[in-house]
Structure 1
């Protein structure tokens, strides 16, 4: 099973205002990952040649039931360093989940995402609930309820992206539940959209 996390630096300027830095000046420079959904040796990260896109391929990011409590909840934290020109700052606006779920009656599923900048107060969260019965592909785009910007005039902080997939069966139930990722080849994709502004 493979999960894809696509992190795109999309230039979302306000019409009529030059609020986004030139794409060629924005680079993803460092990526690390940790969590039950991305244990050592199960994850590969690839940065595109223009530095604008990060693709992370996971092989063990699946939450399922019946199973142990650990089987029912998986997570992954991706730490990203981004270089960009002075005079700008950025935040995240939305997260898109794409994947596959099988939830028998009584089993609920949950997708969650959050982000924060290292050393800066505030964590922004988003979540999406899946109600049974479900058997098929899904795609959701959720807005973060609030935003936290990287501080202006200081070295760029590490951006931490935390995702989680979980399933919850009724007490004592043997019903089947599964959340993994995108369509027939079982791939999960998450797309984070960036918003820029001038300092």
Structure 2
């Protein structure tokens, strides 16, 4: 009896992993709009992976500094896009990955925040990465959303992502020279009625 229970649990776990790894048979992007002080409108592009598990955006750059005006300390980019996928599916964003360069002095910090939400639905998922000085270098970061916010079943609403980069303190520079965030899309099948 105990073996059967263990086998049943293992089979359920395998089915759960397989279900979470599934994607719809076809996904397309109808359109993308973006705006804000940090979008970098030159050479802007986006790519949806062939397996529909990631979407990458490429902007010409986003940089903030404590030198200059208050507007130089904060840059934001709001992206809104319409995914087209078959009924019976729901989508979320699990992680965001990006590359950055920083030169942050002691008693200063850089903050990279990502929010996402679906048009017409309540709730916003947020990630915040703080980099405290002293810190100098270039690196890639990957952060996971602690809460997965799912689109409603059988609807493909606009997915809205807002990224904000801010520096605070006496001396700090944070630059995403080639602003190329990659968003990991999570898919799940809706329950059958």
TM value normalised by structure 1? 0.78
Match of 1:192 in 2: 183
1:16-35 alignment runs, 5 A limit: 16-17=18-19, 20-22=22-24, 25-35=26-36
CA apart distance, 1:129: 0.5
What corresponds to 2:137 in structure 1? 136
Mapped to 1, the partners of 2:95 and 2:56 lie a distance apart of 17
Post-superposition shift, 1:14?
A: 4.2
Deviations 1:103-136 (A, max 9, x none): 1222211000010000100011001000111111
Quick one: which of 172, 175, 178 aligns to 2:173? 178
Segments of 4+ moved more than 6 angstroms: none
Q: Offset at 1:88?
A: 0.9
CA distance in 1, matches of 2:125, 2:20: 26
Map 1:40-119 to 2 at 5 A: 41-42=41-42, 44-47=44-47, 52=52, 54-119=55-120
Note the C-alpha offset of 1:66.
1.2
Conservation of the 8 A alpha-carbon contact between 1:29 and 1:82: yes
Name the TM-score, length of structure 2 as normaliser: 0.80
Report the Cα offset of residue 50 of structure 1: 5.3
Structure 1, residues 137-175: CA drift from partner, whole Å, max 9, x if none? 122221212122111133x100001101111014xxxx3
Question: Retained in 1: the 8 A contact 2:27–2:85?
Answer: yes
Residues 19, 85 of structure 1: alpha-carbon distance in 2 compared, 3 angstrom cutoff: farther
SS at match of 2:68: coil
1:151 and 2:142 equivalent? no
Task: Please say which structure displays the higher CA radius of gyration.
Answer: 2
Contact kept in structure 1, 2:47 and 2:56, CA below 8 Å: yes
Change (3 A) 1:117 1:165: same
Cα RMSD (Å): 2.3
Distance 1:84 1:106 in 2: 47
CA distance in 2, matches of 1:142, 1:118: 23
- Matched-pair contact (CA < 8 Å) for 1:109–1:167: yes
Structure 2: gaps spanning 5 or more residues: 1-14
Unaligned runs of 5+ in 1: 1-12
Match of 1:151, SS state, is coil
More helix by share: 2
| Number of residue pairs matched by the alignment | 175
